[in-house]
Amino acid sequence: MALNGSAAGSPATRPGAMPAISGQTRLLVVAPHPDDETIATGMLIQQVRAAGGEVGILLLTSGDNNPWPQRWLERRVWIGAADRQRWGRRRHGEVLQALQCLGLPIEALQFLGWPDMGVTDVLLHSGEAAVATLAGAIDRFRPTLVALPALGDRHPDHGSAHVIVRLALARQAKPPQQLTYLVHGQAPASGVIEISGTPEQAGSKHAALAAHRSQMALSGARMRRLAARPERYVADAVPSEATPVLPWKPPAWMEPWLRLSVVSAAGTLSWRWREAPLKRHSDGTCQLTLPVAAGPRFVRLASSLPALWIFDHWGWCEL
């Protein structure tokens, strides 16, 4: 395993370092959609397997809500519920083929069947049940290492997946080590671990990516570019300083359409922006005036205005 960047070193003495990989490693990869497991962690999966460790894949959705490739490949404009279900089954079959290319048996896959582009709704409206489901899946595999999407990933399913996993792990007395990965967005400038593999591992990752044929049809060049990057992780990332100050300064004209949501082990709180418990500062920043709470706490700013862009403009932050 080749490591580069500021996080390289001994995990016993260097916070944020790459965890040691051995025959005792049990890696659980949390993937919001089919193909995330390959793009983000294809090298890591193979290196854990090469060391004699075990790997499990926890797939949250079937990726069925991706209409443009389906329209293209099936030569249809209208996509109904039955069409989406068929597309989801196709993508499920593709991820099984991809896992075989990465050296994993089909039994390595746990599938939750949550709605594609709906993980945020699952979190905000069924948060306790969602966290319990994740906690149960984690307990069944008993990982020593969890790879999960970064909180700053701009795809809404990815950012919300991070929140659910973190809340599930917070229930454990001794949670496993964590590696966060970013697929959509800008990686941090420091504290990043890079993994590069052998030519054979790169070839297997390329074959796994090719197994996702439905996604390669329209986005092949973009996906190959994403998969060709060194895999980059942040280990056990926590906020450097607890602060209730929000990172966003939304324009005043958008305020009627903005909603602020806070999620923690205690549940979910949500307000219209103008009704939220905020202290507004002269520099345009806002501070949440909430009692201090134990455990991780996450806040999301979202707009109800219709948009063609699927990615979050503001997304999540951790308080």
Range of the domain at 296: 252-318
Output the pLDDT for position 6: 37
Q: Is the pTM of this model over 0.75?
A: yes
Round to whole Å and give the CA distance between 304 and 120: 14
Output the pLDDT for position 186: 84
Q: Are residues 62 and 209 in the same domain?
A: yes
* CATH number of the structural domain spanning residue 212: 3.40.50.10320
Write the CA distances from 182 to 8, 147, 158, 226, integer angstroms. 19, 11, 9, 10
Number of domains in the chain: 2
Among residues 205, 235, 265, which one ends one of the domains?
235
Among residues 235, 260, 295, which one ends one of the domains?
235
Q: Are residues 191 and 275 in the same domain?
A: no
Output the pLDDT for position 239: 55
Does 242 reside within a domain?
A: no
Output the pLDDT for position 237: 62
Output the pLDDT for position 10: 34
Output the pLDDT for position 11: 38
Output the pLDDT for position 307: 86
Residues of the chain with pLDDT under 70: 1-16, 237-243
185, 312 contact by CB (below 8 A): no
Output the pLDDT for position 136: 97
Output the pLDDT for position 7: 38
Round to whole Å and give the CA distance between 25 and 7: 19
Output the pLDDT for position 1: 47
16, 7 contact by CB (below 8 A): yes
Q: Which of 106, 76, 77 is nearest to 92 (CA)?
A: 106
